[in-house]
Structures are given as C-alpha cells and as structure tokens.
Amino acid sequence: MQLATVIENRVKASDLLEDFKKHPVIQGLIKGGESVEYSAHLIPVTGLKVLPLLAKDGILITGDAAGLVLGTGLILEGANFAMASGIAAAETVIKAREKGNYTQATLGHYEELLRKGFVLKELQTFKKAPAFLENKRIYTTYPEMACDMAMKIFENDGTLRKGTFKTLRDSMKGRISMWQLFADALRAKESL
C-alpha cells in the first residue's frame, strides 16, 4: 500500500501490521507467537529531487533524516547510506573543529564527501525510481498478471496449454494494453 493511499484512507500502521499478521501464509509462521514490542516509522524514499540542504551553519543532516535512502522497488536500502553519511559528517566536523569554523561554507565539505563516495552517486543512478514507483500498475496489475500467467503455465488439467506469448496476451486482456506494457517496461529500464 502506498503512503498516499494510507493517508487518504487514514490507515494506522498498527492496522497494517494486524492485516499482515492475518494473511494465511503469515498466520502459519507466527501461530502461538506473542508480540512483545512494536515500533515503526515511515522510510522516506524521495530521491535526489527532494533532498534537503545537507549542511547549514552549525548543522549537518544525515541518514534517512536527509532522505538518504535508496528505493528501487527491488531493494530498500538505507543503513549503509546512514553509516556512510555519518562517517562523512564526522570527518567534516573534525575538519570544521580544526578550523574553528562551523559555517555552511566549511560544513559544505560534507556534501563533497557524499558526492565522492557512493551515496549521492547511487541516488543519481536511480533518480527516476521514486517517480516510476508511483505507477499503481506495479502493485496491482502486474502481480495479478504474473499470478494468472503462472497458473496458466504450471496448471495441468489435461488440456493442451497455449504458448507463453499467447498466455501473456490472454493475461493482459481487460487489464492492460500492449502499449501500456511497453511504456512501463521502457520507464522501468530508464528508472531501475
């Protein structure tokens, strides 16, 4: 469920967890278990377009507070970004302390270090991913099609099965056009 949908429908994080625990596959895994502690927070997957100013006079912003999280739909990565930005911030503070200068000009070294390392380079590589992941078909249409295709390909009721491309076309009927599929595939190629 996307954040916008959660907000729009006023869904609580605890309700999402309870719904997750009610899923038949999950129920079998946690049967007899007891929740001892629960904690959650939103993970900001915003990309480069929405990064805040990372350094101001006397302030450095690191980790997910700075939006230094990589979400591509396949991965959600942030702990290593937080550590790398923390190291860059520490090196910057050491340099600022040696100079006795904590102005934005001196603390700007922090962003230089992030640009030299992997953090901002990876965010740059996947800069189109957040916008691409706004496509609702990724969370509804394509999983439905994949399940439908898998059923048609692997189910054997004794009748002759169709070829894979014909099965794909049948699974697309009423869900998506070939042009939409092609356009989404092109956007995926550019974004991921």
Position 12 scores a pLDDT of 84
Question: Cβ(54)–Cβ(66) under 8 Å?
Answer: yes
Q: What are the structural domain ranges in the chain?
A: 1-42, 48-126, 136-191
Position 1 scores a pLDDT of 57
Position 18 scores a pLDDT of 86
Position 2 scores a pLDDT of 67
Residue corresponding to tokens 């169709």: 162
* pTM metric for this prediction: 0.68
Tokens of 146: 């994949």
Question: Cβ(145)–Cβ(164) under 8 Å?
Answer: no
Strands 55-56 and 59-60: antiparallel
Of 112, 109, 114, 101, nearest to 58 by C-alpha is 101
Position 115 scores a pLDDT of 95
**In the chain, which stretches have pLDDT less than 50?**
none
Position 166 scores a pLDDT of 92
Question: Cβ(137)–Cβ(176) under 8 Å?
Answer: yes
